[in-house]
Structures are given as structure tokens and as C-alpha cells.
A and B are shown apart, each in its own frame.
Chain A
Amino acid sequence: MKQADALNQAGTLAELGTLGVLLAVARRDLLLALRRKSEVMTVLFFFVIVVSLFPLGIGPEMALLRIIAPGVLWVAALLAAMLSLNRLFAADYADGTLEQMVLSPAPLGLLVIGKILAHWLVTGLPLVLIAPLLGLQYDLDGRALGVLMLSLLIGTPLLSLIGAIGAALTLGVRGGGVLLSLLTLPLYIPALIFGAGAVEADISGLGATGHLSLLAALLALACFFAPWATTAGLRIALE
């Protein structure tokens, strides 16, 4: 490293640790989201409008709405997460930032985790926060609303992680958007089953712990596996 030091023209610049690089990537993406607020709002508004459409299509019977509420809210969250995935890597791919990420001395997996973290904070967390409000439209009681929030809190990061794989694989591919949903939605099914199932189980008095722990187990598995698959996908896209 002597040579590198000799070549450091500024001389005084400090090195960042790997965690520092991860945080820098996340901070940059959050800053970008802040500058293009409309994109964030679109996803949130999409979630709200899809959930509000169901009673109009089915009828305002509260007994029925209570039954379908967990499924509707979760499917809408799934679709909203889908909608935002397209942009996860596309801009970085188009402007050459992704090349610099692959060439960064920090492990690409860490940078990807930083990006997914920012993506979740920007698109996943707002869904979690607004979900109880929409749950009220479906006459869910306080406990069920709490379980709904908790299931989304565990589930939306899972959606971001799995979705990142699809986003990486369809990068720069013809018809990427539609293809992305074809690839990702089947992989979302376990999250949907356990997430919506948790709320249902709570409403029917069975207790949501089992569902929630399975959802958390899936999240742990995805944390381990998804960044690997995503990095592999990104490297292939850049070759």
C-alpha cells in the first residue's frame, strides 16, 4: 500500500470503513429520494388507491370487508413494492454509477444492502405506517391493526430483498418492468401467505405468533441469500 500512499495527491484524505461505505450509499439514495419526492408519493398513493378500490368493487358490507382486509392490504402492499422495484438499480445502471459500485473496493454485497435499506426506508416503511389508517376502512380492531403493522414491518423488508434479485436480473432487459413482476411475484407468495395469515389468525383468535415467526425466519434467510443473488445478477448485467 506504500505505492498507493505515495500516489495520494491530497495526502490527508481519510479512508472509510466498509460500514461507512454502506451508510454512504444508503444516505445518497435517501438524499435522491428526498429530491424526487413525487416518486415516493406515487408508490404510497398507489397503495392507498388500490386498497380503497376493493370495497367499491365488492360492496360496503363490513362483515365481508373484515374478512378480506388482511389479504387485500397485503396484496396491495405487494403490488406497491413491485411498482417501486424498477427504479432500484435502473438509474445507477444508466448513469454509470453501478459500474463504480462493482469496482468499489468495498464488497458489492454491502453496497447492495445499503441500497436495499434505503429502498425499504423510502417505499416500505411508509406502507407500514399508513396501513393502520387503511385497516380502519375495513373495520379492523386495534389488536388486528397492530398485528397488521407488525407483519408489514417484518414483511416489507423481505419484499425489498427478494425484489432486488428480480430488479438486478431484469436490468436493461427488453420489457423489464413486466418481466420483473413475472419473476418476482411467485417468489412473494410465502411472504403473502404468512403476512396476511398472521392478521387473519389474530382476527380468528388463533394467535399470530406462529405466522410472524415464520415470516421473520424468511426475512433472516433472505438477508443471507438475496444480497448474494442480487450481486451476481448485477455483475452479469454489467458484463
Chain B
Amino acid sequence: MSNKIIHWFKYGSPQSFYPLAGKMIPWFWALAAIFCVAGLWIGFFVAPTDATQGEAYRIIFIHVPASWMSMFLYIVMACWAGIGLSLNTRLSSMMASAIAPTGAMFAFLSLWTGALWGKPMWGTWWVWDARLTSELILLFLYLGFMALQAAIDEPRRADKAGAILALVGVVNVPIIYFSVKWWNTLHQGASISMSKAPTMAITMLWGMLVMALAFWMYSIAVALQRARAIMLERERHTDWVKYAVE
């Protein structure tokens, strides 16, 4: 019994995780590429042209999965950070730091594609729609997390401080989302809503799901790669790193 537990915890230590992650990364990259090609193919060639929005709506195949990922990654990041804080496991904290830039990238991608979508639809780059606004605040939260970790030299302290911020953020995200929604419904000026997506054909949903899978695989691959880099940097004085680099 206890044997098994020790065996599992083995992968919690950087020196055994490092080669394992190295082996996994190419597979995730390959899966990401396959799903991405499939998703884009569904999005551009299979999904029908929308009656009211024409071809421009096709950006939702990037926009919607990117928004999903940005929110989901924040929760994943907070989970890793929380585990790192409570169990004092180095690897979990490294994973949290590795996920943050990817999450921020997806939040930014979501905002950017939202703007590209808004221009042909409503003639403006930016609408103060509840989802776009929440996404913007989410980007701020990611940037805050990364800035805090970058400003602290001692890695342990950076991990712990970042973890508390991520946990505070995760409690706040629903509150922020709810309050922004409430604010949005009270102000008539912003009646345009991004959430009113074109009536969904089943192929569109498939396209978005496949793209979301592609983003998933990409996130895992990139996060693992970044975690490996963080490991090497932090443990540069240990023997296993010297051995691994050679």
C-alpha cells in the first residue's frame, strides 16, 4: 500500500518529472496540430455561412474557445497554486507559474478576436459587453499574478505570494463576472451583446469543441515546456540538472 503511494509521489519531484514531461511534450504538440487543422477545416469549410453575419462570424471558432480556455486555465492555475501552498510541493507551484502566460495569451486572444469580430458587426472595435469586460478584467488578473511573481526574487516567496493572489482571484472571478453582468443590464447604452452568438448549427458547435481541444493540447504542451524551463532555472545548482543538461 505504502509502496504505491511513494511510487506516485515520485512524479511530484522535479528530477523525475523532467524527463517524463520531455517525453510527453511532442505528443501534445502533435495532437494540438491535428485538432487545430481539423477544427479550422470544420470552421472554414464545413460550417455554413451565417444568414445575418456572413463570413465574419467564423472568428468565433477562435474567439469562443480562447475565452473558455482563458477562464478555465485561471481555475487550473489557482488549483495548482493552492496545492503548492498547502502541501508545499515545488512542482505544483512551478505548474501554476507555467500556466499563467498561456492563460494571459488566451485572454488577450479572446479580446483581440472579439474586437475583430465587433468591427464588421457593430462598426466599433470595442463594446462594453459583459463578457468582453470580464475578459479584460481576467487579463488584468493574469498580468497582476505574473507581475507579482516577477517582482519577487526568492522563488519560494514568489510561489506562495502568487498562490494567495490566485486564490483571492478565483474567489473574485465569479463576483466580478456577476457584477459586470449586473452593471451591463442596467445600462441601456450597451445593449449589443457578444453573448448573442448566431443561432448555433451543430457543425459550429463541433468546430468550436474541436478547436477547444486543440487549445487544450497546446496549453498542456506549452505549460509542460515552460515548467521544464522553470525547473532547470530554479534547480540549476543540483546534480540532476547538471546531469539532465549534459
Binding site for B on A (CB under 8 A): 165, 169-170, 173-176, 179, 182-183, 185-187, 189-190, 193-194, 197, 200-201, 206, 214, 218, 221, 225, 229, 232-233, 236-237, 239
**Residues of chain A with a CB closer than 8 A to B175's CB:** 190, 218, 221
Pairwise interchain contact A190-B148, C-beta atoms closer than 8 A: no
Known contacts A197-B186, A236-B157, A236-B160: A183-B179 contact under CB 8 Å: no
Alpha-carbon separation in the docked complex, A51 to B172 (Å): 28
- What does DSSP make chain A's interface, helix, strand, loop or mixed? helix
Alpha-carbon separation in the docked complex, A173 to B162 (Å): 13
Alpha-carbon separation in the docked complex, A182 to B149 (Å): 13
Pairwise interchain contact B151-A189, C-beta atoms closer than 8 A: no
**Residues of chain A with a CB closer than 8 A to B183's CB:** 193, 197
Q: Which of B141, B143, B147 neighbours the largest number of chain A CB atoms within 10 Å of its CB?
A: B147
Q: Is B165 an interface residue (CB 8 A)?
A: yes
Pairwise interchain contact A186-B176, C-beta atoms closer than 8 A: yes
**Residues of chain A with a CB closer than 8 A to B176's CB:** 186, 189-190
Alpha-carbon separation in the docked complex, A179 to B144 (Å): 7
Pairwise interchain contact A183-B186, C-beta atoms closer than 8 A: no
Q: Is B137 an interface residue (CB 8 A)?
A: yes
Pairwise interchain contact B180-A189, C-beta atoms closer than 8 A: yes
Known contacts A182-B140, A218-B175, A236-B157: A187-B168 contact under CB 8 Å: yes
Q: Is B241 an interface residue (CB 8 A)?
A: no
Q: Which of B139-182 contact A (CB under 8 A)?
A: 140-141, 143-144, 147-148, 151-153, 156-157, 160-161, 164-165, 167-169, 171-172, 175-176, 178-180, 182
